[in-house]
Amino acid sequence: MRQPPSAIALQASGLRKRFKTGRSTIEVLKGVDFDARHGELTLVMGPSGSGKSTLVAALSGLLRPDEGAVTALGDDLWGKSSGRLDRFRLDHCGFIFQGFNLFPALTAVQQITTVLKYQGLSAPEARRRAEQSLREVGMDRRANQRPSELSGGEKQRVAIARALAKQPRLLFADEPTSALDGENGQVVIRLLQRAAKDHDAAVICVTHDPRLEAYADRVIHIEDGLILDDRRPPGSAGRAEERRLEGAEV
């Protein structure tokens, strides 16, 4: 059942995170409030060291904050035991990283079926869903290729297919275009946009690339551990781009 487009998928309040470096302590997040909605692509932007990757790690259950709370899909994320937290990420979260994180020995389709089998899918269903996801990102003809045989853009498409095959309700991307040229970067951000629109996921993307703003429903700027700006592009640019791309092949 599809969530209403405005339904909040994830909400955080008062997030603080500190790291010790020698004798000093650096506060990377300084009481951040945040929310993300189903069916929307939210960009989190800021310079290096601003806290944007730390924020997403805290929102996704990868890094426990020192203070604050995160409610994800109606659950208290950091109130879960480590085992339940691992299961929550496996069942409901997709992750895409700048380094692709593909297994060198596995083909594109195996990258996906391996993860789906951990979710409990049968081998035939895992294969069917993997092939469908590769087709969705335009990689079905490369299904039997290993990472060494793929370009950077193709590797990132496989990583996106792997994330989408899980049918996540929360999708986190950390600098997914930083290792790609402009053309492949645009392909990737369009795929993330479609993940929000077609799969009704809440997509949260960390980036420092201002060219991606045209595809977003919402842009949040963070600097020195604080959110400085939270806005929606004028004229709903993200939705306009979606309409322009409707029916087009990636």
Q: How many angstroms separate the CA atoms of 141 and 145, rounded?
A: 9
- The three-state secondary structure class of 111 is helix
Which has the closest alpha carbon to 187: 140, 152, 221, 163? 152
Q: Is residue 217 part of a domain?
A: yes
What confidence score (pLDDT) does residue 233 get?
A: 84
What confidence score (pLDDT) does residue 98 get?
A: 82
The amino acid sitting at 194 is: R
Per-residue confidence in pLDDT tens, the chain, 250 aa? 444 446 999 999 999 999 998 889 999 999 999 999 999 999 999 988 899 999 999 999 999 999 999 999 999 999 999 999 999 999 999 999 888 889 999 999 999 999 999 888 999 999 999 999 999 899 999 999 999 999 999 999 999 999 999 999 999 999 888 878 888 888 888 889 988 998 899 999 999 888 888 899 999 999 999 999 999 987 544 454 444 444 444 4
Burial class (CB in 10 A: 0-12, 13-18, 19+), 48: exposed
Which has the closest alpha carbon to 51: 211, 231, 220? 220
What confidence score (pLDDT) does residue 71 get?
A: 97
What confidence score (pLDDT) does residue 235 get?
A: 53
The amino acid sitting at 82 is: S
Say how many CA atoms lie within 13 Å of 143 toward its Cβ.
15
What confidence score (pLDDT) does residue 119 get?
A: 87
What confidence score (pLDDT) does residue 250 get?
A: 43
Burial class (CB in 10 A: 0-12, 13-18, 19+), 89: buried
Q: Is residue 204 part of a domain?
A: yes
Q: How many angstroms separate the CA atoms of 248 and 250, rounded?
A: 6
What confidence score (pLDDT) does residue 236 get?
A: 47
Q: Name beta bridge partners: 37.
A: 8
Domain residues for 35?
A: 8-101+152-245
Q: Is residue 183 part of a domain?
A: yes
| CATH number of the domain enclosing 183 | 3.40.50.300
What confidence score (pLDDT) does residue 212 get?
A: 86
Q: How many domains does the chain have?
A: 1
